[in-house]
Structure 1
């Protein structure tokens, strides 16, 4: 509480300790010290009991020796049996750890934990598929970790946590980065409530609301959004890697998190904006999501694809000290929202924002009036823009504006079309995508032909339907309407 520092370190002088005692409503310094020591000893006792019956960390493969300058023959044999093709290189790597070459292994407590942990850790690395590569990645991770005591203690006593960490090294480098910068995110994985937290949207949204609700200023709310956003993204991704979540549920949870953060940030931005510029009478605002956010299929690396729509008198002005006309008001409000989401702070970047699907693309205004939105899609929009509307979804709206936007989209999607022209437009669009964004490698599933982002195209037969303007046949020939349309 003193100097607004977040620390658990007691002061060094009796006078400063006496101040702490008074803050704890204890005027007798000697009694406070006795109570404080008793509390510490009780915690140590409980914590020791917590792991008293922990798993055995022995390798089961014989001794592992990493001291001395020469490689131990038995250790070479054991490491080879574990799956390391270059056992000598593995010994050299581990020897660096024991010599305290990295900040994370310089503390004696860290090296003590690492010594006990090592047999189980090497077994886990050996089972990763490519033991040598996994060890090299873990070594790189360890070289950049600022401290190791807490992390080593955790993975020493939790086998599943250890396996997850090795999985991060092998297949999720962004998650490994999160552990480097915020080692405490691993704590959430051993919380008994972890499974409930990452599988239930109401629990996730409640955590976001509670954490952001503690912000004491607009700036703190922006930082808190990044903290809770990054931590929950990490936990959802960990649930996916561990098998706690299916890919479908993970997509829904990533989306629920993004949607909750977008809504709360918009509320904060709006309140801050209105302090200076006031409000426009009878104005309503809505946020319309596109892409993966709209279809609830977001991943840990997805951006926020949305536009801001408003319904307000065009000639009106806001009632604040710095009044603005309707168009300028909502354009600046949108700029503030995008900045709140994308601006890098000490806590990092929350999301990238993609607003190219607004009328006229990047050349158009950031905010769009409802009347302008209807007019553009009635007279000027391209076929691909109407395809994008087929899965657009309102994620926030004032009053009944959400229903009004839904009705406008339904009217656009359901209108009669020239089927031949629509098919030609779709084929031209997919050809352009293939040329401009070719697959970078065979596993680039978003860009490769027939991958996630290159859906099969079906021949349109029979009367048009309301969603894709063409009934899909069972064939898989590359003519017709895009299947995801």
Structure 2
């Protein structure tokens, strides 16, 4: 860029023209820097920042600001700079100026009073300057003020001859910083400084200690202050402990749907003020303006940021992109909001370029309107106004959809409003209203509503929660009435509502999203298991809003996302909670898709097994790196899955049968891997505030409950070769490597093949397996309704397959593949190991057994009934059993 670009930019800025005409711009500095973005060296090399003269510093800062603004303006108006460059350059200028002012102020006052020291830590103290709002989010506009808060670590006093307390010392530092930046001199102003976001605002102390800030946020912090602190960024080198102190206040541990009402209140206040000022031409606070885009981004940060740390961002556009990446907002919506935000911010800058004024109001003067349109790339004001209006309409449509009050409901819902208000009055009126809404058997439900309204749990609800509860009950009854068996559905929904009523955020969610409540009712109408699961994990309500709810699960992408979330965890508790949130969310997604008929029973078991594999693979390295004094960065350790996990036949409530192996000659290996196994068990089966992951069964390890928790591969091999019982080799036939070191996996696979292909006495093998089946029958009598233990049931099929592997894998190594019982029966039929017709019949029986089990657990099917179809399946398996084990 050249001086021609400078001349072109003048037509869009009276300010720039004045600076140039009055000789206030050093073109030898400015012109060479028009070709590139400014960097830190440009700021530091502009003047002698070490001068002890306060007036010199003030003058240099103002001259620097003038030249930076001119450089940004010319590059932006010439099309060389994008929005990120403009905002980033101005924000970095603010950071530089704040730091220069803080260094000077601290040094000047320390020379007079001595260095400040903490009373408890005895450590030297420095001021933390916190940038709020756009300064915190690297989004400063070119004529912006800067919102700052001054925090010092702790009370104490200085060590000089004229000692003063730290509060007084840092107050003096703060005042001097403000004067250096905010005072208007003959050289102008650096930045207007706004301190009103500090605790207690204008009436509060100019500076406060970290302890005072923590106390204030915990006891007096208001909802709007959470939004303010969301963008907070410490711009001085002395961050102290502010980040960890503020985070729990801004980002709640649970999904915080209370944020909707708080954001609505804040927006109403801003809109009322905008209306007073006739601000429809204000592109910041008017309808469809910059503030509405920011609100859309921040509402989801407030709701979900505590659960998803990826959302703990500062900038508006990066937050919007994150919302799209996580499926929280559709990509098209984010693209429209981002484009509108860029257009609005570009317009805002051009309004401010005109005369270096902090304004977002569209001009009335025709000359300025025409110049604004041309600077935005439009031929005339009419074309620009149309484009602006299109963007604002799209922004407001999204904003209204997200933040508007819930939709109106039909007359039946209004009748149910009256029903709930009068639930503790005449029972006849309640019953009549329920019948009108579509309920048939109303007496029990009417009684339940009366008891609920009169009960202590309802009456103890907070002043915030009770109105929400009152608003949700009629909607809940309306949603249940539209489901099959509405009385049962309503009972489950009321159970859920009572369970979550202590957390008003869940009530806010149900009130905000009628469509999600309707979907919740449909799910609970289909599955008692899912109703109970949601009652235990109500945080899963949020999944009902996910665009990914019905999409196929991409396990590679999910594993990568889980790894990113775990990398952000700073302690063991948050790591365990993250694993639980992930596992619960994917289990819920699978259950919803399963209820929609998207999976066969074999496929859903594969998916649930893959989920367990993903969780185990993520947990193992996280647990290892948290063990003190580990002897190697990556453990030579493997998790082996047995049983349903090994056979990839997990159900929703299955436990995990695990065995732990290692191969490591280091002298500390055994101790460290035993510690790893214990902590991994705790990580997987322990209960936290987020619930549990899995129940574990470790009894299939060598020597069972009396054996070591973890074994070397050599010891495991020796046991399998010399000491294992036949039933343990049966169990090994379903075992597989799940996660861990590849070398250990290879040793296990080789050993498994060796053991399963041993040359065996088939007569003795049959006797051992039959005897084990009799032992099981002694402890689990084979009743016909129990398809797992019944004669001809699941256990018999599994034992037949295990016999086939142990007896014939030597001759047919394809039987070693871990393909599940149905596929293995097909292979045994194909290669003649089993009678083909009987094997196929047993495989079909086994498939139907699993379908019945699945339907009884997930769906609301009755307990398994012994009907003719089930008897035929039992007979088919018994026939194959007799053929295999020579039973007449």
**Number of the residue aligned with 2:788:** 446
Alignment partner of 1:257 out of 603, 611, 614 = 611
Q: Which residue number corresponds to residue 321 of structure 1? A: none
Q: CA 1:435 to 1:17, structure 2 compared with 1: closer, same or farther past 3 Å?
A: closer
- The CA deviation string for residues 69-114 of structure 1, in whole angstroms up to 9 with x for no partner, is 33447953863994533x2332233345567862499522332243
Q: Given that residues 57 and 120 in structure 1 are in contact (C-alpha distance below 8 angstroms), is that contact kept between their aligned partners in structure 2? A: no
Pairing partner for 1:472 from 828, 834, 844: 834
Gaps of 5+ in 2: 1-129, 131-209, 236-268, 275-283, 300-395, 817-827, 839-876
> How does 1:92-107 map onto structure 2 within 5 Å?
92-95=447-450, 102=458, 103=461, 107=466
**Aligned residue among 590, 605, 627 for 1:236:** 590
Q: Work out the CA distance in 1 between the residues paired with 2:510 and 2:451.
A: 16
3-state SS of paired residue (2:716): helix
Query: Residue 631 of structure 2 aligns with which residue?
Result: 278
1:239, 1:245 within 8 Å by CA — same for their partners in 2?
A: yes
Q: Which one has the bigger helix percentage?
A: 2
Q: Does 1:119 align with 2:478?
A: yes
- Separation in structure 1 between the aligned mates of residue 648 and residue 789 of structure 2, nearest angstrom: 20
Change (3 A) 1:171 1:441: farther
Closer, same or farther: CA 95–405 of 1 in aligned 2, 3 Å: same
Separation of aligned partners in 2, 1:36 and 1:276 = 56
Contact 1:265 1:340 in 2 (8 A): yes
Distance 1:13 1:149, change over 3 A: closer
CA contact (8 A) 1:10 1:17 kept: no
Once the 2 structures are TM-superposed, how far is the Cα of residue 375 of structure 1 from its aligned partner? 1.8
User: Structure 1 residue 84 and structure 2 residue 84: aligned?
Assistant: no
How much has 1:431 moved relative to structure 2?
1.8
Shift of 1:409: 0.6
1:153 paired residue among 488, 491, 511 = 511
Distance across 2 between alignment mates of 1:47 and 1:451: 57
How far apart are 1:23 and its partner, in Å?
Answer: 2.5
Alignment of 1:151-190 (within 5 A): 151-153=509-511, 156-158=514-516, 159-168=518-527, 170-179=528-537, 183-190=538-545
Distance 1:202 1:438, change over 3 A: farther
Q: Deviations over 1:404-459 (max 9, x none)?
A: 221111111111111111111111112222221346893x4434444444427659
Which of these residues, 341, 352, 361, is aligned with residue 684 of structure 2?
341
Residue-by-residue CA offset, 1:264-312 (whole Å, 9 max, x unaligned):
2211222223x324249x9832221111112222222222212111223
Task: Give yes or no for the alignment of 1:308 onto 2:660.
Answer: yes
Deviation larger for 107-116 or 260-269: 107-116
1:320 is matched with which residue? none
TM-score, reference length from structure 1:
0.77
How far apart, in 2, do the equivalents of 1:17 and 1:151 lie? 19
8 Å CA contact 1:289–1:392 kept in 2: the answer is: yes
Please show how residues 13-412 of structure 1 align to structure 2 within 5 Å.
20=229, 23=232, 38-39=291-292, 43=296, 46=398, 48-49=400-401, 66=419, 67=422, 69-72=425-428, 76=432, 79=435, 82=438, 84-85=440-441, 87-95=442-450, 102=458, 103=461, 107-124=466-483, 127-128=484-485, 131-145=486-500, 146=502, 147=504, 149-153=507-511, 156-158=514-516, 159-168=518-527, 170-179=528-537, 183-196=538-551, 199-273=553-627, 275-279=628-632, 284-313=636-665, 316-317=666-667, 324=668, 326-412=669-755
Structure 2 distance, partners of 1:64, 1:413, is 67
Report the secondary structure of 1:263's partner residue: helix
Unpaired runs of 5+ in structure 1?
Answer: 318-323
Point out which structure has higher relative CO (alpha carbons under 8 A, 6+ apart). 1
Q: Tell me, in whole angstroms, the C-alpha distance in 1 between the residues paired with 2:699 and 2:798.
A: 25
- Whole-angstrom distance in 2 between the partners of 1:94 and 1:400: 62
- Would the alpha carbon gap of residues 119 and 337 (structure 1) be closer, same or farther in structure 2, given more than 3 Å must change? closer
- Structure 2 counterpart SS, 1:238: helix
State the Cα distance separating 1:388 from its structure 2 match.
1.3
Write the distance in 2 (CA, Å) between the matches of 1:209 and 1:234.
Answer: 20
Aligned to 1:455: 797
**Aligned pair 1:11/2:225, yes or no?**
no
Whole-Å separation in 2 of the counterparts to 1:327 and 1:11: 51
Q: In 2 relative to 1, CA 457–403 (structure 1 residues): closer, same or farther, beyond 3 Å?
A: closer
- Name the SS of the counterpart of 1:349 in structure 2: coil
Deviations 1:155-200 (A, max 9, x none): 62243332013334x3435313234xxx33122123122222x533
Higher alpha-carbon deviation: 33-42 or 87-96: 33-42
On the 8 A contact 1:55/1:157 being kept in 2, the answer is no
Contact 1:227-1:347 within 8 A present in 2 as well = yes
Name the residue aligned to 2:361.
none
Aligned length: 453
* C-alpha contact 1:59 1:120 (8 A) present in aligned 2: no
Q: Distance in 2 between matches of 1:24 and 1:457?
A: 63
3-state DSSP class of the match of 2:550?
helix
